[in-house]
Amino acid sequence: MDLISRIKRNHGLEHATIHVLSEKHKNFSAQGNSTPNGFHLNIYGNISETDVIEAVEEAYTRMKAGEHNLAVHPNCGTVLLTTAVLVTLAAQAVFAVEQKKRKRSSMSLPVFANALPTAILAVVGALIVSRPLGVQLQARYTVEGDLGNLQVVRIRQVNASPITRLFQVMLTGGQQQATSYKITTTG
């Protein structure tokens, strides 16, 4: 459980850092991943290393002072995964029901044509529900706002991985620089 707790606390600090950066900078994207020993943070845009270090420190200070809500971020992978799952299930359910109806009747139109309007409506409903649900799942299962005895040990710039470069192209069309940081924690 300590391992999971550390990942959740680091994940919360990762999100808090992105919140702090977003308060001070516009026109950038960020992506990260957390481990028991800290988190990696990839910045796509023109943000200095000093700004990143200050954001980590400010996020840590604010969370320790009780701003636990900074741990939750609306663009977290948990929210994106929740959206993907619900949208997929909604569309699949509609097509499965339509397929069953088709087997029981002599419908001449393809399943896709009959089900498409209903599938679109189901997907829109799933999109509406998925974001708040994903945020709630994130808050409950994948982040922790109370850092406990977590301490930031080191913040350093590292070489961007090939995956980070791929995200750079996808998120910015290669127009913004990608800078990667490794934040090491203990506790």
Residue 1 or residue 9, greater confidence: 9
**Summary mean pLDDT of the chain:** 92
Same domain assignment for residues 135 and 166: no
Same domain assignment for residues 43 and 63: yes
Same domain assignment for residues 63 and 151: yes
Same domain assignment for residues 17 and 31: yes
Please compute the mean of the pLDDT values over residues 97-113 and round it to a whole number.
Answer: 70
Domain hosting 92: range is 77-142
Same domain assignment for residues 118 and 60: no
Please give the structure tokens belonging to residue 17. 């850092």
Helix (H, G, I), strand (E, B) or coil at 30: strand
Is residue 116 a contact partner of residue 168, using CB atoms and an 8 Å limit?
A: no
Greatest C-alpha distance within the chain: 68
CATH of the domain at 21: 3.30.980.10
- The reported pLDDT for the residue numbered 70 is 98
Same domain assignment for residues 38 and 83: no
Same domain assignment for residues 58 and 84: no
- The reported pLDDT for the residue numbered 102 is 73
- The reported pLDDT for the residue numbered 110 is 63
- The reported pLDDT for the residue numbered 1 is 66
Number of domains observed in the structure of the chain? 2
- The reported pLDDT for the residue numbered 93 is 95
Same domain assignment for residues 96 and 152: no
